Amino acid sequence: MTLTEDRSATEARHAMIVSQLRTSGVNEPWVLRAMAAVAREDFVPAAMREAAYIDRAIPLENGRFLAAPLFHGKALAEAAPTAEDKVLLVGEENGYLAALLRPLAGALTVVDPAQAADLTGEGGYSLLVVDGAVEQLPAALAAQVADGGRVVTGLVERGVTRLASGVKAAGAVSLLPVSEMGIPVLPEFAAPKNWSF
């Protein structure tokens, strides 16, 4: 990367913070610092580097999407990870949201969406974050969250995507919509189709 490209990316990152995040209510200093420190252009295909900071999802080479900065900013603010948190992220091991969470969490485990529904193991996570929108949260994934643990995810309801958060209590996760926004849908979490006439 040349000095000019580096300066251009830094300016674009600053513009993202000022014109996309702050104007949409993401004003937590620690969130803004985290997003200022991670170069989104490093997480998109080379042909999309100049568009890394646009306010919509960017297609990736693996058929997935990098969500818009607003989703990641609001999800991070809602999750509020701390050094005491054992975090489970459904997303990409070397993805943008993992890079944002890694320095904030006490421990971070990342699982690919294709394997999330079949998770087994010790669980006990205090925070579950899903990098995308789901129609339903698989029982195997919810089982990984400790009672009292937090969940932050995109949620699809009647074709509309919203950021949602909740807490696991008495063995069940209840999610409440936080704000409506465009979020890439994860097909692995589609609800079973019912017959209709």
DSSP 62: T
Q: Which residues pair with 185 in a beta bridge?
A: 133
Per-residue pLDDT, 51: 93
Per-residue pLDDT, 7: 75
Amino acid at 100: L
Specify whether the CB–CB gap between 103 and 58 falls below 8 A. Answer: no
Give this prediction's pTM: 0.92
- The domain defined by 3-189 folds into Rossmann fold (3.40.50)
Per-residue pLDDT, 3: 41
Average pLDDT over residues 106-128: 92
Of 89, 97, 177, 186, give the one whose Cα is nearest residue 136: 186
Per-residue pLDDT, 180: 96
- Give the least confident one: 20-24, 66-70, 88-92, 186-190: 186-190
